Amino acid sequence: MLNIITITGDLGSGKSTVSAVLCKRLNYKYIYTGKIQREIADRYKMTTLELNKYSETHPEIDDEIDSFVKSLSESTDLIVDSRLAWFFIPNSFKVYLKTDLEVSANRIAGDSMRKSEKYYSVQEAVDNIVARKTSENKRYLDLYGADCSNLENFNLVVDTSCILPEKTAEIIIAEYNIWLANPNPNSEVKGN
């Protein structure tokens, strides 16, 4: 069994922050495909939403990111923060972080690291989040048959709307340890 935790979830749900806490506590390496996507968006002089729309008709964008994620399937001791890592690394412990849409919008609007995602209002952030998620879910379903909106695809679902990243990491580690102890790699654990 691989010692890999794949993390995906709603935009602004705290994936990168929680992943950083997990890496520190487990001494795992952190792989973050959002950074790759933002670098590609910068290279094309687009916002991440514009890149998502562009990717709908330019599969080379997804190929660049997805080929990298697929190459991780033989690795170990990783936290992989990626929209499709759960799909491309099926023997990983698959975590989905969900959050309230307005909480997500406030987090994203206040994040100075998101240079390609600047908004003038929370409503603009909400609209962008919905559009981006719709675009990604449709594209991944069309390309791979990967249904990111079906929470049954994940071993653990945690609502991060009202809990701190450290508490989220504690929940994930506890459930991950249970999952590691279970000899069935397809076992499911459902959370908050």
Residue 158 pLDDT > 80, yes or no?
Answer: yes
The confidence score (pLDDT) of residue 120 equals 63
Q: Where do the domains of the chain lie?
A: 4-181
Instruction: State the Cα–Cα distance between residues 97 and 12, nearest whole angstrom.
Output: 9
Residue 123 pLDDT > 50, yes or no?
Answer: yes
Q: In 10 A of CB 57, how many CB atoms?
A: 8
Least reliable range by pLDDT among 2-6, 76-80, 131-135, 147-151? 131-135
Mean pLDDT to the nearest integer, 21-28:
97
DSSP-assigned beta bridge partners for residue 93: 5
174 CB-near residues (< 8 Å, 6+ apart): none
Tokens of 27: 């001494």
Of 159 and 83, the one with more pLDDT = 159
Q: In 10 A of CB 175, how many CB atoms?
A: 19
The confidence score (pLDDT) of residue 110 equals 57
Mean pLDDT to the nearest integer, 97-108:
86
Cα-Cα end-to-end distance for the chain: 25
Tell me which architecture the domain covering 4-181 has in CATH.
3-Layer(aba) Sandwich (3.40)
Percent of the chain, pLDDT > 90?
Answer: 43
Question: What does each C-alpha distance from 137 to 22, 96, 151 come to in angstroms?
Answer: 26, 14, 13
The confidence score (pLDDT) of residue 116 equals 47
